[in-house]
Amino acid sequence: MQKILIVFLVFIAVSSCKKLDELNANLKDFTVVPGEAVYNGATRALLNQMFTFNVNNNNTQLFVQYFAETTYPDESRYDMITRPIPATHMNTIYRTVLMNYKDAARALTEAPLAGIDQKQRDNQLAIIEVMSVFAWSNVVETFGNMPYTEALDYTKPNPKYDDGLTIYKDLITRLNAAIAKLDPAFAGMGAGYDNVFGGTAAGTAKWIRFANTLKLRMGIMLSDVTAEAALAKTTIEAAAPNVFNVPITSPTTGDKFAMTYLPGSPNQNPVYTELVVSGRYDFVATSVFVDALNAVNDPRRPGFMWTQVDGEYRGGAQGMPNSYTAFTHVDNAQLTPTREVVLMDYTEAEFLLAEAASRGYTITGSAMTHYNNAITASIKYWGGSDASVATYLAQPAVAFATATGTWRQKIGTQSWFAYYFRGFTAWTNWRRLDYPQLIASPKHVQEVNGIPVRYTFAVSEQTLNFDNYTAAAAAVGGDKAETRLFWDKGPENYDSSFK
Amino acid sequence: MKKISLLLAFLAFIGLQVVLAQTRNISGTVTSGDDGSSIPGASVIVKGTTLGTVTDMDGKFSLKIPATAKALMVTFVGMQSQEVPIGNQSTVNVKLTSERLAVDEVVVTALGIAREKKSLGYASQEVKADNMGAVKSNNFMNSLSGKISGVQIKKNTNMGGSTNVILRGSKSLTNSNQVLYVVDGVPINNQIGSATGQNTGGVGYDYGNAASDINPDDIESINVLKGSAATALYGSRASGGVIMIVTKKGTKGNKGIGVTINSNIAFSSIDKSTFPTYQDQYGAGYGQYYGPDGDAWFESRNATGGNTGAMYDWVPMTEDASYGAKFDGHPVYGWYSVDKESPSYGQPKPWTAAKNGPITFFEKPFTATNSISIDNSTDKGSARLSYTNYDTKGLMPNSSLKKNNFLVNGTWKVTDKLTAAMSANYTNQSAIGRNSTGYNDNIMSGMRQWWETNTDLMDQKAIYDKTQRNISWNYGPALSGNPIYWDNPYWTRFQNYETDSRNRFIGNMSLTYKITSWLDAYGRVAADSYSELQEERRAVGSLATTFGLNRTSAGNAASGYLRRDINFTEFNYDFMLNFNKNFGEDFNLKGILGATERKTKYSTLTSATNGGLVVPGIYSLQNSANALIFPVELNSIIGVRGLYASASLSYKSMLYLDATFRQDYASSLPVANNKYYYPSVTGAFIFSEMLKQDWLSFGKVRLNYAEVGNLAGYDQLLDKYTVNTPFNKPSYSLPSTKNNPDLKPESTKSIEAGLEMKFLKNRVGFDLALYKTNSKDQIQAVTLSQTTGYNFSYVNSGEIENKGIEVSLYLVPVQTNSFKWDINVNFAKNKNKVLSLYPGVKNLLIGTFQGGVTLNANLDQPNGVLKGTDYTYDAGGNIIINAANGKPVKSKTATEIIGNVNPDWIGGIQNSFSYKNISLSFLIDVQKGGSIFNLDMYYGMSSGLYPETVGNNDLGNPVRDNLVFNQYGPDSKGNLTVGIPSGGYTAASGGYIIEGVNVVNGVSTPNKTRVDASNSDGWGYAALPNKAFVYDAGYVKLREVAISYTLPSRWLVKTGLKGVVLSAVGSNLWIISKHLPYADPESGLAAGNVQGYSIGSLPSTRDLGFNIKLNF
């Protein structure tokens, strides 16, 4: 019987004598992946965040009063705490976008050239840099001061906040360097990874145009900052000749940074996901926006995919609950999963040029020409005809010479119309130009005393990075949604107080 | 324990049956003085000799005794020993009375080693099978509530749901704090089967915990090892404490095979205090803003829902709130008017509260448990076979859970020196229609938060039964297509149900070889393996919700199918040398040298359709509308090898000293740090042996110190990319958690002191334990500022301290031959505190709940504080109210501490009475304190569901009436329409006043501004900070009442039956006191570290069970 015991013991001994160390190896996941594929994921994440309608992610379309909500108007009342909007945005931009851009650049730098030219690799790195600058500019325009020099480094768990203007100036420097590095004779990321300009040499030329349009915008953003007048001028005037310049003459033509989505989840257009796939009926157009468009008989209204109520466009009350059927809303049937999103385009370039001219910078073309070009492109993009453009521009309320108010009001109003569906662009533009005059929701939440003009810092920073948070809050002039940022120096022309 | 003792006694006395020159025979029966039942296995020894025997299955004995014999000593574990004078009698019948916490009680300790309880230097507490309640719960742990001090058991109300079991407070920030379950010496898996997110309040199902596969009918006893010293030999995985389970074994019967049949039925009904009461005065809507002009209570449509011709009032069906028009009986069109198959198509109904409210949705749960077991024991060994069938129907329509459990165990004396033992347990469980939990797609969230009080459930049932279509009370604006927020609940239950099944084998084989009289060698191989399939369905025609692989909004789908295949295997190999030697008369040394290895493999494969189903009704991955997204694969393997030694030295059954030492070698730690060591030392001194006082039956002090290490989880060392669904080309992202290649093991140091005393011949006694546990170097995914590019990073940092006191008291106030009254009291208070986290980190986020509330480990606070928005207060502590709208001014940030989920103390009192063959017991279970955030009230008050939102205000007007001011000011157009609160209100005003102060320039004046309650902004989340919805989670519950009757054996003489016990047990009969409105404070999330959140839970049930047990 001892044999049994011996066999048993030997069995135990044999079964347990393998090395344990190898067991921890993860055989299912990747430690090394192509940099282009990391770039691909980050870019899609950035565009989703910029264009989503999800009330957990982005409520800028509510701030600029394109949309009101139906049953649950909390976000239209500027509640940014219940659904931690600033934290979500910060998380997306820093972690999902910028950190991955950083890693994509690292991976590409370390990867062997494997048959491609160093020039193409440089283009790839420059494209990542341009996109990083775009994302960073959004961070500064949204929050003001934020971690920059110590950011994106897990060994610094409590990064300090840098001054917004200082970051912004550094971003312009980086953007200039990236533009200089882009060589239109060579391809970029490669088709499928670059889902905007296609990754060819022709695409690289468009990247240069896009980077310059961004540069123009960044220069314009500084144009109300007295101390940076010289930098604004050189930036704007250097960028102006190189911005998007192919006019949009139809929904599918012209210069634009546009990305087309795919038919299947999870790569569908975020607007389609939120409005159609969700099966919800959360948004109607506001009377503020609809009435303004009705007043000038705007030809873009059908193009905005709007339904009519009793034969007319009728908006709901912003900041209040609204009946979905009683008011104009996006006709879901017109949305498609593959619909493109437009981050920047010829229309925006022309509005920026109109503004540059109005501000007296030395650029080609008059303010009126650029204003008309912008409006024309926008109407064409939303499906309007040449005739409708002509009729529209002929209206005294539209024509640059006769429209009400200063250039700020004229450009502010028309670009507000044109940036429909581009929440962040519209919100930033409205904050800089201070037009159109928007009245804050009278049912605002207690914490926010006006239409937000910045995101408050993420609540999580108060617990995770308290000292730096506190310093930053003091530096920007108080961590409030009503605190105007360093670039937001125009005349305060909107109602930010409540009765 | 009785049967184990029997076995031990049997083995002990086998050697004593020496044939002597007898002079006479003596025989008799040993019975229990408590219930008259016979006691098998009692030892009967002739006083002053080693002659003796043990009683058989009927408690009978027969013994040949020398003429000189004067008395018999009759002993049995758990009973008071008795000396019986013999005189001239040839028959001696002995009645033993039970001895509470008997001095010589044998308990099973770590590694399955049986030890005399008195020799232990640490706290352990036992519950026997017959005190585990006859109401068959899916999870045996639920029947331990209140019976053991220091164990916090939180049973939730989900069908087959998981039970959270924490011993002596949570010690780890992020690792599981659940206890380790050990069955007959072998650890078994207790995976909590809910998908990520479910147990933090996200959508999903609670798949229960795997330890619930243990069949309660096979459990002989449960012993809880509370402190680290008790569990040190189990190494890392026992850091949360151990629940040792001993299963029933074969016992010897002189008539051969023993057969037990147990049959149990249980009926349940809703405890109405755990379900909402609805207001019945106002119906659907959010306020007066419907109709073409946006100023009506109702939508306006024609009789068929169109926009032409004569227009009528329509229920605002797109809403899911009851802040609408007052019920007045006038005809109103609604969902019942829309569909052509509806009996009231095109017809209105009177505007009234529903006759059949949500509570009519529930069914009456019924559970049947039947088991049969056969056992036997001979000189050559013993065996027991049992089969149990468990079948329950849940509270929700179309929900059921079935289990089949087979267990075979046995021992075989191969030779005199070699004994083999084996155990094989197969369980098959299948469930249909577990209830969905969380916020979205949970019928209960609908009923508790978002509901229209005019909705009649029986009408919803009738239309579903008739059409088998999803005709919901919650039509979208187009009055066609999918509902807007909520499906017809019957559609959900009968079409969108989940199913799951698990097949599990737990088994082991062992050999013990007796090398010499004082040295044994022992080897064992144990396997625990299961495969599980979980399938989730969403029928074509449902509303879109987060479903499928990534439950994000991008994962919204109106239909779909998901399957999750889970495979688990764990092998444990053990080898031990046991020695046990006396040195002289006074010293004994027991020792163990052991080696152990476990290898745990857990793999899951989850796949789901993408973009909906093509063909309705076919739940298959092939039926996916779009190409499948990559399935999610997990393949985690952990290996741990341990070497250990223990020595126990005793002196004169008075002083005991134990020491253990263990080294672990874990695969999940970096090679440089993967070996770690920890010791324990325990001591016990039985001072009653020294004092020898009559009044003191027993007295012991104990003291121990232990260290335990804990390993890292699988794959926390190296970074891996997240694989996204390709976007034209492959797409990857960095993970949100930064791994750490330099992790080292966690360590827990604990000291414990105890005092155990018994008085008055064991009729009064207590057991007191004091402990302090410090858990350091916690392996935690510390939350980083998101600006670092990561959300979390694995670090070794932080320290949590748990300090506590545990008391068990017992008392036998009355004891006569036929009547006995026992009282057992358990009390435990644990205080925990986060002493450090990570340099620069003051707070660790453990969970995030809807409503902006978080669960945190905050420095210098208990582990588990709730944070959110608070009221603001003036210097006098009064709530500051905004004078403009009458609502409290909320704190600026959501980082105020608004609650602590840890209870102040927990306890239970059990009273048992026995009179002849009848016994009655009841148990009251108490939790004092602890906080719970209730999302149901947060939203439901605002939705106007609850009675608190209706009725008259202090002015005698309906609170929902408009505010009527004395004074008005001009609006932007110059019209006098803006009410001025400071001017006061007329006697006709609605609204209500929140007590507090208005503060102007630092001066507080009592608030007189009324809150406008004419629409949903007046209550709930729209009006109050999070703090208003944090409730005291304490309760007092009548947990269990049991009556049992043992048929007198004389009635059974001719039946062939050896024993019949009839019993009735009620459990959770009465929540005597609680503070959480409309819900059970125990209900809530699945087991895990995230607690303190009540959202859309099922109501609790009162369960009444009837049991009959037959012994042949």
B557 and A94 in contact by Cβ < 8 A? no
pLDDT in tens, A321-339: 888 888 999 999 899 999 9
CA distance B547 to chain A (A): 11
Give mean pLDDT, residues A82-90: 90
Pick the range with the lowest mean pLDDT from B236-250, B858-872, B1058-1072.
B236-250
Q: What does the block give as tokens for B949?
A: 């939102």
Chain B residue closest in CA terms to A266: B554
Residue A108 DSSP SS3: helix
What pLDDT score was predicted for residue B153? Answer: 82
CB contact A226 to B (< 8 Å): no
State which of A446-455, B282-291, B451-460 shows the largest mean pLDDT. B451-460
Chain A hits for B484, Cβ within 8 Å: 279-281
Strand ranges (DSSP E) for A16-135? 67-69
What is the rounded CA–CA span in Å between residue B20 and residue B38? Answer: 28
CA distances from B1044 to A183, B370, B1062, B1105, B1108 (A): 90, 18, 5, 12, 9
* Nearest-Cα residue of chain B relative to residue A469: B785
- The answer on pLDDT for B225 being more than 80 is yes
Nearest to A346 by CA among A251, A244, A448: A244
Instruction: Supply B720's token pair.
Output: 């891996």
Which residue would you say has higher pLDDT here, A132 or B295?
A132
Residues A292, A286: Cα–Cα separation, whole Å: 10
Which residue in chain B has the smallest CA separation from A277? B556
Q: What share of chain A is helix, strand, coil (3-state, %, to 5)?
A: 50, 5, 45
CB interface of A with B, residues 480-499, below 8 Å: 499
Q: What DSSP state is assigned to residue A313?
A: -
Decide: A214 and A278 in contact? Cβ < 8 Å: no
**Dist CA B43 CA B45 (whole Å):** 6
Q: Scanning the structure block, which residue is given the tokens 């002929």?
A: A394
Angle in degrees, CA A119, A125, A126, rounded to 5 = 85
**Helix A201-221 crosses helix A229-239 at what angle (to 10 degrees)?**
150
User: Nearest residue on chain B to A272, judged by CA atoms?
Assistant: B554
Residues 6+ apart with CB under 8 A from A250: A380, A381
Interface subset of A 373-402, CB within 8 angstroms of B? none
Average pLDDT over residues B483-500: 94
User: For residue A262, what is the enclosing H or E element?
Assistant: none
The pLDDT of residue A496:
44
Instruction: Give me the pLDDT at residue B684, please.
Output: 94
Cα B662 from Cα B640, distance rounded (Å): 12
Helix (H) or strand (E) holding A407: helix A407-418
Chain B nearest C-alpha distance from A55 (Å): 11
| Least confident range of A341-345, B977-981, B1034-1038 | B977-981
Q: Are B599 and B189 in contact (CB under 8 A)?
A: no
Å between B842 CA and nearest CA of chain A: 7
Q: Per the CB < 8 Å rule, is A28 touching B633?
A: yes
Say if the Cβ atoms of A157 and B838 lie within 8 Å: yes
Nearest-angstrom CA–CA distance, A342 and A421: 9
Residue A301 has φ and ψ, to the nearest 5°, of: -55, -45
Mean pLDDT, to the nearest integer, of B500-510? 94
Q: What pLDDT, on the 0 to 100 scale, is given for residue A164?
A: 97
Contacts (Cβ under 8 Å, ≥6 apart) of A173: none
A153 contacts in B (CB within 8 Å)? 788-789
pLDDT higher than 80, residue B556:
no
Statement: residue B952 has pLDDT above 90: yes
A459 reaches B (C-beta below 8 A): yes
Neighbours of A479 (CB within 10 A): 23
Q: What is the pLDDT of residues B560-608, one digit of tens each?
A: 999 999 999 999 999 999 999 988 888 999 999 999 999 999 999 999 9
Q: Do A279 and B482 touch (CB under 8 A)?
A: yes
Q: CB distance A157–B785 less than 8 Å?
A: yes
Pair type for strands B587-608 and B560-583 = antiparallel
Question: Which residue, among B317, B516, B742, B788, would best test binding to A if mutated, counting the most A CBs under 10 Å from its CB?
Answer: B788
User: Distance, in angstroms, between B278 CA and closest chain A CA?
Assistant: 21
For residues A208 and A176, give the distance between their C-alpha atoms in angstroms, rounded to a whole number.
10
Phi first, then psi: give them for residue B1108, nearest 5 degrees. -130, 130
Residue B1052, pLDDT > 70, answer yes
Q: Which of B787, B880, B938 is most worth mutating to test chain A (most A CB atoms within 10 A of its CB)?
A: B787
CB contact under 8 A, B843 and A83: no
Query: How does strand B242-247 pair with strand B180-183?
Result: parallel
> What pLDDT band is residue A7 in, cutting at 50, 70 and 90?
low
- B946 or B222: whose pLDDT is higher? B946
Reading across the β-sheet that carries B792-796, which strands appear in turn? Answer: B737-738, B792-796, B779-783
d(CA B287, CA B1015): 5
pLDDT of residue A167: 98
The pLDDT of residue B1 is: 39
Give the residue-averaged pLDDT of A167-185: 98
Q: What is the CA radius of gyration of chain B?
A: 33
Q: Shortest Cα distance from B624 to chain A (angstroms)?
A: 11
Under 8 Å CB pairs connecting chains A and B tally to 295
DSSP type of residue B122 = S
pLDDT of the residue at B5: 43
- Quote the minimal CA–CA distance from A359 to chain B in Å: 34
Q: Distance (Å) from the C-alpha of residue B565 to the closest C-alpha of chain A?
A: 16
Q: What is the pLDDT of residues A41-80, one digit of tens each?
A: 999 999 999 999 899 899 999 999 999 999 889 999 999 8
Predicted TM-score (pTM) of the model is: 0.85
Question: CA B132, CA B135: separation in Å to the nearest integer?
Answer: 9
What is the average pLDDT across A445-464? 87
Lowest mean pLDDT among A304-308, B642-646, B862-866, B977-981: B977-981
ipTM of the prediction? 0.93
Q: Which residues of A touch B553 (CB under 8 A)?
A: 54, 56, 273-274, 278
pLDDT at B134: 54
- B222 has a pLDDT exceeding 70: yes
Cα A452 → chain centroid: 16
* Burial per residue of A286-324, b for 16 or more beta-carbon CB atoms within 10 angstroms, e otherwise: bbbbbebbbebebbbbbbbbbbebeeebbbbbbbbbbbb
B32 compared with A272, residue with greater pLDDT = A272
With an 8 Å Cβ cutoff, is A99 touching chain B? yes
**Mean pLDDT (chain B, rounded):** 88
Average pLDDT over residues B206-222: 84
C-alpha span between B6 and A230 (Å, rounded): 97
List phi, psi (to 5°) of A8.
-60, -45
Q: Which residue has the higher pLDDT, B980 or A372?
A: A372
d(CA B868, CA B466): 47
Rounded Cα distance, B531 and B505, in Å: 9
Please state the rounded mean pLDDT for residues B1060-1070.
90
SS3 A213: helix
Residue in chain B closest to A443 (alpha carbons) equals B1017
Residues in B closer than 8 angstroms to A96, CB to CB, are 733
Q: What is the pLDDT of residues B980-1007, one digit of tens each?
A: 998 999 999 999 999 999 999 999 999 9
Average pLDDT over residues A408-430: 97
Task: Quickly list DSSP for B233-260.
Answer: GGGGGGTT-EEEEEE------TTS-EEE
Instruction: Kindly report, residue by residue over B126-179, the tens digit of the pLDDT.
Output: 888 777 655 566 677 777 877 888 888 888 788 888 888 888 888 877 777 788
Cβ neighbours of A274 in B, within 8 Å? 553
Contact A438, A494 (CB under 8 A): yes
**Mean pLDDT along residues B498-520:** 93
User: Which of A129, A221, A126 is closest to A168 using CA atoms?
Assistant: A221
Q: Which of A234, A252, A242 is nearest to A210 (CA)?
A: A242
Which band of pLDDT confidence, cut at 50, 70 and 90, is reported for residue B714? confident
Residue A308 sits at the chain B interface (C-beta within 8 Å): no
Q: Is A157 on the interface with B (CB under 8 A)?
A: yes
Do the chains contact at B733 and A466, CB–CB below 8 Å?
A: no
- Give the residue from A2, A29, A499 with the most B CB atoms within 10 Å of its CB, the best one to mutate: A29
Least confident window among A94-108, B112-126, B323-337, B647-661: B112-126
Task: Supply the angle between the helices A423-433 and A346-358 in degrees, to the nearest 10.
Answer: 10
Q: Of A260 and B247, which is predicted with more confidence?
A: A260
Name chain B contacts of A273, Cβ cutoff 8 Å: 553-554, 556
Least confident of A350-359, B337-346, B844-853: B844-853
- Residues B1025-1044 have a mean pLDDT of 94
Q: Residue B532 pLDDT > 50, yes or no?
A: yes
Q: Compute φ and ψ for A87, nearest 5 degrees.
A: -65, -40
What lies within 8 Å, CB to CB, of A311 at 6+ separation is none
Q: Which of B554, B571, B843 sits opposite A265 (nearest CB)?
A: B554
* Of the partner residues A27, A192, A462, the one whose CB lies closest to the CB of residue B729: A192
Yes or no, beta carbons of B286 and A71 under 8 Å apart:
yes
DSSP state letters, B626-690: EPPPPPEEEEEEEEEEEEEEEEEEEETTTEEEEEEEEEEEETTS-GGG-EEEEEEEEEEE-THHH
Pairwise CB contact (< 8 Å): A153 & B789: yes
Distance CA A413, CA A421 (A): 15
Nearest-neighbour CA in chain A from B569: distance (Å): 14
Report the percent of chain B where pLDDT is more than 90. 54
The tens digit of pLDDT for each residue in A125-144 reads: 999 999 999 999 999 999 99
Measured in angstroms, the CA of A370 and the nearest CA of chain B are apart by 36
Nearest to B321 by CA among B446, B478, B475, B456: B446
Residue whose token pair is 């509901």: B451
Nearest C-alpha of chain A: how many angstroms from B935? 12
* First-to-last C-alpha distance (Å) of chain B: 20
Residue B949: the pLDDT is: 96
Residue B199's pLDDT band (cuts 50, 70, 90) = low
Cβ within 8 Å of B, A 326-355: 326
Residue owning tokens 């135990």? A12
3-state helix, strand, coil in chain B (%, to 5): 10, 50, 40
